[in-house]
Amino acid sequence: MPDASFPQTPSSPILVLNGPNLNMLGTRQPEVYGTETLEDVIELCRRAAAARGREITHFQSNSEGELIDRIHGARGTASGIVINPGGLTHTSVALRDALVIPEVPIVEVHISNVHAREEFRRHSYISPIADAVIAGMGGYGYVAAIDFLATRGATTA
């Protein structure tokens, strides 16, 4: 539940976070993740947000601590978070704990259908705290997440 002392408005940007290895999109296992680059995905997000009169900020890191720091910084400055935690989805309680701090809607996104892959990918520490989970839609999953946050999930003070 959003905290009134940290108001977010529809004019606050949506934070798009990408975790480990997502900087390698377009070259890493294209048969699984497709050929879109991370910059292609971010451009899709920018266009989707602009179509709704919104803006995004974005960040990618291979470092769990840097992602957590960016999440902490979203408190009071972001209206929602789209996150593809990459492999941290299945391993990081610390990332999960950080995601409740901003008190904004969260959409967990995965490019591939994690439920059709290895068993260990089917568990997420993030899903139980997410407002929505999108998997297997490629880069379009980010567009769906932005649309959700911009039209239904964004909070107002």
- Round to whole Å and give the CA distance between 17 and 114: 18
Instruction: Give catalytic residues, as residue numbers.
Output: 33, 110
CA 25 to chain centre: 15
Asked if residue 78 lies in contact with residue 126, where contact means CB atoms within 8 angstroms, the answer is no
- Tokens 């989970």 found at: 133
- The beta strands (E) that lie in 26-97 are given as 56-60, 80-84
Tally the residues of the chain.
157
